[in-house]
Amino acid sequence: MSRVGRIFPELIRCLFSPPATVDFPKSEVPVPPDYRGKPVLIQEKCTGCGLCARDCPAAAIEMVEVGAKRPKPAFDYARCAFCAQCAESCRSDAIEITAEHHLAAYDKEGLRWVPRYEGTKEKPAES
């Protein structure tokens, strides 16, 4: 059988089968139930112990001062391996792993999350 003769049945089968890809921005991609997406901090629960920053294998968490209380974790999603070790290490369940996977940004600062200021003193000058 010629080469074209072997390809022809496959061509006909592909013409009448549904596409194997998803039209991405127009349709949402379903994520599995245990998907490890973007970690987020529930700031009210955080005690500022620093276990998440210490246990992060990618060094994507830095403890920052946010006012009168103890420091809170700031996430650098450009470095994050999305391993969920920070959520496992957190004793106060202040870090949740979401299913969010759309993390596009124009620069690295767009992939950095810093907790909001809390306290009664003046807000420190940002550098």
Residue 47 lies inside a defined structural domain of this protein:
yes
Contact 80, 62 (CB under 8 A): no
Per-residue pLDDT at 10: 86
* pLDDT tens digits for range 47-59: 999 999 999 999 9
| Rounded Cα distance, 27 and 115, in Å | 32
DSSP for residue 79: T
What's the total number of domains in the chain? 1
Residue 14 lies inside a defined structural domain of this protein:
no
| Rounded Cα distance, 87 and 68, in Å | 24
Residue 58 lies inside a defined structural domain of this protein:
yes
Give the domain CATH number at 49.
3.30.70.3270
Per-residue pLDDT at 3: 73
Residue 100 lies inside a defined structural domain of this protein:
yes
Return the sign of the alpha-carbon dihedral for residues 87, 88, 92, 96: positive
Across the chain, mean pLDDT equals 87
Pair of tokens at residue 43 = 């700031």
Residue 60 lies inside a defined structural domain of this protein:
yes
Residue 18 lies inside a defined structural domain of this protein:
no
pLDDT band at 127 (very low <50, low <70, confident <90, very high): very low
Provide the whole-model pTM.
Answer: 0.73
List all residues 6 or more positions away from 3 whose beta carbon is below 8 Å from its beta carbon. none
For residue 44, the enclosing domain spans: 31-113
* pLDDT tens digits for range 79-102: 999 999 999 999 999 999 999 988
Residue 20 lies inside a defined structural domain of this protein:
no
Residue 127 lies inside a defined structural domain of this protein:
no
Residue 70's CB is within 10 A of a number of other CB atoms, namely 13
- Compute φ and ψ for 77, nearest 5 degrees: -70, -15
